[in-house]
Amino acid sequence: HIAELVEGHLRKNNKLTVTSKFLKKVILQNITASAGEEKTEKYKNWQTLGALDKPLIILIGGATGVGKSTIASEIAHRLGINRLTSTDSIREVMRMIFSKDIAPALQESSFHAAKTIRTPVNEKTDPVIAGFMEQTAVVSVGVEAIIQRAINENLHMVIEGIHIVPGFLDLKLFKDAFVVPLIIAVEDEKVHKSHFYMRGVQTHQQRPFEKYVNNFEAIRKIGFYIESLAQKNSVSVIQSYSLDNTIPAIVDDIYYQINKATGPNGSRKAKKAKSKKKKNKSTG
């Protein structure tokens, strides 16, 4: 429909050849006139993503069972990102490489990692959190390697998982990418618990309901810990009530962070960096 309107506008004004800048202007005018400001904003955001001069790496964290994998899959689809991986997959690969003696924290689920602690834990430290911290510290090394590879290959990517914990990943290492971290939370305990039942049904009990419900207290504890670190590190925490509300909220947050990073100063810096690279190549 929009294409027909744009074509009609160009024919009416006898515009046989146009610049891309003019064409974008006409498209925006027609989207606004026929679909409203909200659709126009979405189109602008889509244009922003296509114009990025660095790869976009979206990191989605949160407690077990808050819906990270479903959300990550939908976000990747909406933004046209083909690369999607989970920190559980990274942990599995690392578990095969490192023996139980070298990295015991990799051998258990995040809420059971306390079993693998070999060093004495301070009385004030919760063993559940201590075990989770130890596992996250190890998995974070693998996550950073995956991010670096995506940057080297200039690929947009979504990484989701419980090991996306603010403060554990050194995001300053990745200046050649737009890294957008965010945390998903489910405030209502009953809603959170119901996710495990649905997960069991959808996977035909390959991920049994009882396993998660029996460890629900530890799962919630880890979730609160992740959220507290998010607040401490100024990372967005998005409360998930329904996918219909959560997905648009996350997409808006991603574009907000991109636009913030690529504002007038940001884009100028990016252009300077680009021209500097070209100079280095030509003089090298």
Structure-token pair, residue 102: 């070298």
Is 37 contained in some domain? no
Q: How many domains does the structure of the chain reveal?
A: 1
- % of the chain beyond a pLDDT of 70: 69
Q: Averaged over 98-115, what is the pLDDT?
A: 75
- pLDDT confidence of 119, banded at 50, 70, 90? low
Statement: residue 161 has pLDDT above 70: yes
Is 266 contained in some domain? no
Is 278 contained in some domain? no
3-state helix, strand, coil in the chain (%, to 5): 65, 10, 30
Structure-token pair, residue 100: 């139980």
Is 172 contained in some domain? yes
Helix (H, G, I), strand (E, B) or coil at 36: coil
Q: What angle do CA 211, 217, 220 make, to 5 degrees?
A: 105
Is 4 contained in some domain? no
* pLDDT higher at 196 or 176: 176
Q: Averaged over 81-110, what is the pLDDT?
A: 85
- CA-closest candidate to residue 250, choices 180, 192, 167, 193: 180
Q: Averaged over 260-278, what is the pLDDT?
A: 52
Is 124 contained in some domain? yes
Phi and psi at 185, nearest 5°, equal -135, 150
* pLDDT higher at 213 or 182: 182
Is 272 contained in some domain? no
Any idea what the CATH number is for the domain that residue 160 is in? 3.40.50.300
Helix or strand (DSSP H, E) at 45: helix 37-50
The pLDDT assigned to 273 comes to 46
| 143 within 8 A of 162, measured Cβ to Cβ | no
* 147, amino acid identity: I
**CA pseudo-torsion sign 21, 24, 29, 32:** negative
Q: Averaged over 132-150, what is the pLDDT?
A: 94
- Give the list of residues 6+ apart from residue 283 with CB closer than 8 angstroms, or none: none
* Domain of 227, in residue numbers: 53-261
Structure-token pair, residue 168: 């554990």
Beta bridge partners of 238: 184
* pLDDT higher at 205 or 184: 184
CA-CA distance, 203 to 207, in Å (whole number)? 6
The pLDDT assigned to 184 comes to 97
| 87 within 8 A of 163, measured Cβ to Cβ | yes
